[in-house]
Amino acid sequence: MEFLDELQRRRTFGIISHPDAGKTTLTEKLLLFGGAIQEAGAVKSNKIKKGATSDFMEIERQRGISVATSVLAFIYKDKKINILDTPGHKDFAEDTFRTLTAVDSVIVVIDVAKGVEAQTEKLVEVCRMRNIPIIVFINKLDREGKDAFDLLDEVEQKLGLKVTPLSFPIGMGYDFKGIYNIWGKKLNLFSEENKQTISEGVEFSDLDDPELDRIVGEDAAETLREELELVYEVYPKFDKEEYLNGALQPVFFGSALNNFGVKELLDCFTEIAPTPQPKMSEERLVDSKEDKLTGFVFKIHANMDPKHRDRLAFVKIVSGTFKRNAPYLHVRNGKKMKFSSPNAFFAEKKEIVEESFPGDIVGLHDTGNFKIGDTLTEGENLNFKGIPSFSPEHFRYVNNADPMKSKQLQKGLVQLMDEGVAQLFTLEMNGRKVIGTVGALQYEVIQYRLEHEYGAKCTYENLPMHKVCWVDPEDPKNEEYKDFKRTKQRYLAKDKQGQLVFFADSAFTIQMTQSKYPSVKLHFTSEFK
């Protein structure tokens, strides 16, 4: 198959939402329809022995939440679909923000009862900043929830989106009869008894057909006709161009747990979702159709397989063809590297691939060469932008609880920080290590993984700080900067890259420091050059 044909077949998207909206369940069902897995496992704490396919870390199975982004792929209607299932929990938002740099479109999952929640607002804001095309999936229709029109209003107002429904529910909760698929002009009926089998859609080009009354009942049919009339009047017609530009968002209704409405979503998605898009690097815009390879590391995962202590760097291919055993330039290190066993992911299986194309995610075995944001090319000096470290909000000293295992602790901390799980700072004054995270739950994950994956134990001590700021002096040689370093010595540390940071105990301290030392700039992300 030609390179451009392969490009046209690719669809790479992320699934984002608030925790518990049913994101991982939807991922499972998409895999099920794609024929990539035979049965779906529910993400529930210890209730079902089979865990969800996309939650492969031990701690995820115990807590029933996703804490790392999973990469899954399958073929559907001759399209190669790459899904990135992200954590919904706000403590792991940084992983999700980074994942959004690697997707071409997103599906936002919203719980019918809870509506739009805070975490969803944040994530959608990031998508809108980058003009990422968004499809909204309103989930859990078999439960009692908000009225469909109220939900659509909420999505428009809270998320700032311009929506157009491409399917519409008939009833909700106990009265849920099914879904009318506006996109395909079909009616799909829901029955409580055989939840796991889907009724084949009945085609209705004319909703005035009396057959509709017979199938769903007169009242439900009348309500559907009225509601659809309102939909056609109030909401804009679907326009693919507007959707691709991030200016219009289609909405689907369904129940992922009961496989309902998922196929409609998938059918429409494969038709309208964007193929791999060009990406801006610091030097130039890289077009996905270029024949020379470029790609960047957006995620690193240590110990994917606990038996083998392996560490994978996830690379999103932006342009060209990635070939096994071909030499590629690691831009930051300036070294050529070859990869003998690049992995692709098909549901829970990893496979070695000979070649991969733009839009694909490749897992490269890594012995510590890669950091998040690293670029691979065929020789060109390129750096992809937009994968910053954010200023953490929680800080704790990390202490070694087992002096015999200090090497293991050191190794574990370095590798986990490379994954971007949290950030490690070393105080200038006494060399003590401080872990900074976006959310407090991270500390539990780090402690758990240090013990179970590296055999090291650690304890924490609280460090009451407000923010960490990256220090950016206008002139490192001037007196003002020297004075800043002298007076603030106790609050200065280095991050993992050796950049100087300043610990501030309050917003007031940051303000005062900025006014006293105007030539020393303080930044809340590490990407300010």
* Pair (93, 207) in one structural domain: yes
Average pLDDT over residues 459-463: 91
* Pair (65, 104) in one structural domain: yes
Is pLDDT above 60 for 47? no
Owning domain of residue 109: 3-272
Average pLDDT over residues 239-262: 87
Cβ contacts of 461 within 8 Å, gap of 6 or more: 396, 397, 399
* Pair (179, 32) in one structural domain: yes
pLDDT of residue 59: 46
Q: For residues 346 and 351, give the distance between their C-alpha atoms in angstroms, rounded to a whole number.
A: 7
The H-or-E segment that residue 503 falls in is strand 500-504
Q: For residues 83 and 353, give the distance between their C-alpha atoms in angstroms, rounded to a whole number.
A: 18
Is pLDDT above 70 for 223? yes
Average pLDDT over residues 235-239: 90
**Which of the two residues, 377 and 196, has the higher pLDDT score?**
377
Window from 125-139, 202-216, 336-350 with minimum mean pLDDT: 202-216
Task: Establish if 281 belongs to a structural domain.
Answer: no
pLDDT of residue 415: 78
**Is 123 strand, coil or helix?**
helix
* Pair (411, 467) in one structural domain: yes
* Pair (302, 255) in one structural domain: no
Task: Establish if 386 belongs to a structural domain.
Answer: no
Q: Taken in order 234, 238, 243, 249, is the CA torsion positive or negative?
A: positive
Contact 292, 320 (CB under 8 A): yes
**Which of the two residues, 482 and 174, has the higher pLDDT score?**
482
Q: For residues 83 and 345, give the distance between their C-alpha atoms in angstroms, rounded to a whole number.
A: 10
If one counts the domains in the chain, the total is: 3
Tens of pLDDT, residue by residue over 384-437, are 865 556 677 789 999 998 888 889 898 888 878 777 768 899 999 888 999 988
**Is 316 strand, coil or helix?**
strand
Domain final residue pick, 377, 409, 439: 377
pLDDT of residue 51: 44
pLDDT of residue 50: 40
Task: Establish if 308 belongs to a structural domain.
Answer: yes
Average pLDDT over residues 45-63: 42
* Pair (92, 237) in one structural domain: yes
Is pLDDT above 50 for 320? yes
pLDDT of residue 483: 92
Q: Which of 260, 170, 185 is nearest to 220 (CA)?
A: 170
* Pair (108, 244) in one structural domain: yes
* Pair (370, 466) in one structural domain: no
Q: For residues 276 and 318, give the distance between their C-alpha atoms in angstroms, rounded to a whole number.
A: 7
Task: Establish if 263 belongs to a structural domain.
Answer: yes
From residue 439, give the alpha-carbon distance in Å to each of 221, 242, 418, 419, 520.
Answer: 48, 36, 17, 16, 28
Residues of the chain above pLDDT 90, percent? 14
Cβ contacts of 59 within 8 Å, gap of 6 or more: 67, 444, 445, 448, 449
pLDDT of residue 93: 53
Task: Establish if 389 belongs to a structural domain.
Answer: no
* Pair (244, 326) in one structural domain: no
DSSP state for residue 283 in the 8-state scheme: S
Is pLDDT above 70 for 292? yes
Contact 135, 105 (CB under 8 A): yes
In this structure, which long-range contacts are made by residues 503-506, counting pairs with CB atoms below 8 Å and at least 24 apart in sequence? Answer: 503/395, 503/425, 503/434, 503/463, 503/465, 503/467, 503/468, 504/465, 504/466, 504/467, 504/468, 504/469, 505/464, 505/465, 505/466, 506/466
Task: Establish if 277 belongs to a structural domain.
Answer: no
Q: Which of 358, 372, 355, 353 is nearest to 312 (CA)?
A: 372
What average pLDDT does the structure give for the chain? 80
Window from 152-161, 220-229, 474-483, 500-509 with minimum mean pLDDT: 220-229
Domain final residue pick, 218, 238, 272: 272
* Pair (129, 220) in one structural domain: yes
Residue 527: pLDDT band with limits 50, 70, 90: low
Tens of pLDDT, residue by residue over 362-385, are 888 887 788 888 899 988 888 886
Q: Which stretches of 172-217 are DSSP H helices?
A: 210-216
* Pair (500, 427) in one structural domain: yes
Task: Establish if 282 belongs to a structural domain.
Answer: no
Domain CATH for 302: 3.40.50.300
* Pair (439, 331) in one structural domain: no
Tens of pLDDT, residue by residue over 55-109, are 444 544 444 443 344 677 888 888 888 888 665 445 445 666 777 788 889 999 9
Residue 141: pLDDT band with limits 50, 70, 90: confident
pLDDT of residue 202: 64
Domain final residue pick, 272, 299, 321: 272
Q: Which of 511, 517, 427, 449 is nearest to 480 (CA)?
A: 517
pLDDT of residue 305: 52
Task: Establish if 388 belongs to a structural domain.
Answer: no
